[in-house]
Amino acid sequence: METHARPAAPAVSIILPAYNSALFLESTLGSIYAQSLQDFEVLVVDDGSTDDTAAIVAQQHPQVRLFRQANAGIAQARNTGLHHARGRYIAFMDHDDFWHPQKLALQVRVLDEAQASVGACFGEFRTWDGSSTHAFSTSLAWPPSFVPELSGWIYHELLLTNWALFSTALFRREVFAAVGEFDPDLPPADDWDIALRVSRRYQFLKTLDVVALYRMHAAQTSLRCFARDYQTELRESMLLRYGPAGPDGRVCDPAKLKDRRVTSHLAHSSSHAQSGSVATALRSLAKAWRLSPTDPRAWQAAVSMLRVLARRRPSLGWPKWREHETRTHGDE
């Protein structure tokens, strides 16, 4: 009886969720296959695309493991990738970003040499308009320089914001067995949620090097306007569950935490003011005011809000304006 040996597991599984990604996919995959470390597998999860995403992968990149699912969002696409990943390390790549050619080699070596309590390594990124792929002017040096305040136990710092852009990160596979999967109910904060949960169980290492380019374009998810303030909800739920102190006892700076809370409310208010959901914008602005009634940013936001109202009421009329808001944004 003939037997076939199962292929050895790769060092890294690269999970790439893709939704209508045809415009950027070739560039992104090109940066992956240009890596100096080639011991990896690529898993593209097509999340119900209606363009040529799946065809591009199937026809032009047969070495990629392609999985197709009905549209369920980036969190579920990442989970699908995790279910099929075989590597001892897990990397996540956004469909429109671009890697330094030594990114994987550096981070695999960092985690290979780090103690087991270090669950992830991440690096710096640079915003990018896609006009040039020659933005990496230097090699990644060894040994790398680490950012002290974002290395070690960093839960107290992650409460402020998600410092770890996932396209710059590499995780040990066992991290996800310990903390669970991405939460599909937390768009667009599902990656921040994972980072916070990981930070309760593992240390991080952040290198000073720029390891990825973060593409800026009009269709990117981070520019979408959501009715719920997911980032505020996540931060408050983590504080309620774990408090402000990390596993090593260090506490999130109260002044910085207050400032981030105010900033989140104002950002949510501003995005809704611009998109036309004035009621939601006013509610978030009121939350910022209650937290810091003398903050000049809140007063500036109020002035901006009045300008929005002045522009909208003459053109729409009060009844039509209210109808427009409900029709556009639904029950908020």
42 falls within a domain: yes
Which residue range is the domain that position 120 belongs to? 12-223
CB atoms within 10 A of CB 311: 10
Assess whether 185 and 312 both reside in one domain. Answer: no
Assess whether 261 and 306 both reside in one domain. Answer: yes
1 falls within a domain: no
Distance CA 155, CA 152 (A): 9
Assess whether 132 and 200 both reside in one domain. Answer: yes
Assess whether 204 and 258 both reside in one domain. Answer: no
Assess whether 208 and 293 both reside in one domain. Answer: no
* Predicted model pTM: 0.86
228 falls within a domain: no
Q: What's the domain count of the chain?
A: 2
Distance CA 68, CA 49 (A): 9
32 falls within a domain: yes
173 falls within a domain: yes
265 falls within a domain: yes
Assess whether 76 and 181 both reside in one domain. Answer: yes
Strand order in the sheet with 98-99: 65-69, 40-47, 12-18, 89-92, 169-172, 118-128, 203-215, 98-99
Half-sphere exposure of 46 (CA within 13 A, CB side): 20
Assess whether 211 and 284 both reside in one domain. Answer: no
Assess whether 31 and 160 both reside in one domain. Answer: yes
238 falls within a domain: no
- What is the pLDDT tens value at each position of the chain, 332 positions in all? 444 556 789 999 999 999 999 999 999 999 999 999 999 999 999 999 999 999 999 999 999 999 999 999 999 999 999 999 999 999 999 999 999 999 999 999 999 999 999 999 999 999 888 776 566 878 998 999 999 999 999 999 999 999 999 999 999 999 999 999 999 999 889 999 999 999 999 999 999 999 999 988 666 555 566 778 999 999 999 999 999 999 999 999 999 999 999 999 888 888 887 777 878 888 888 888 888 888 888 778 777 777 776 776 554 443 333 333 333 333 33
Assess whether 153 and 271 both reside in one domain. Answer: no
What CATH number is given to the structural domain containing 63?
3.90.550.10
Assess whether 259 and 190 both reside in one domain. Answer: no
234 falls within a domain: no
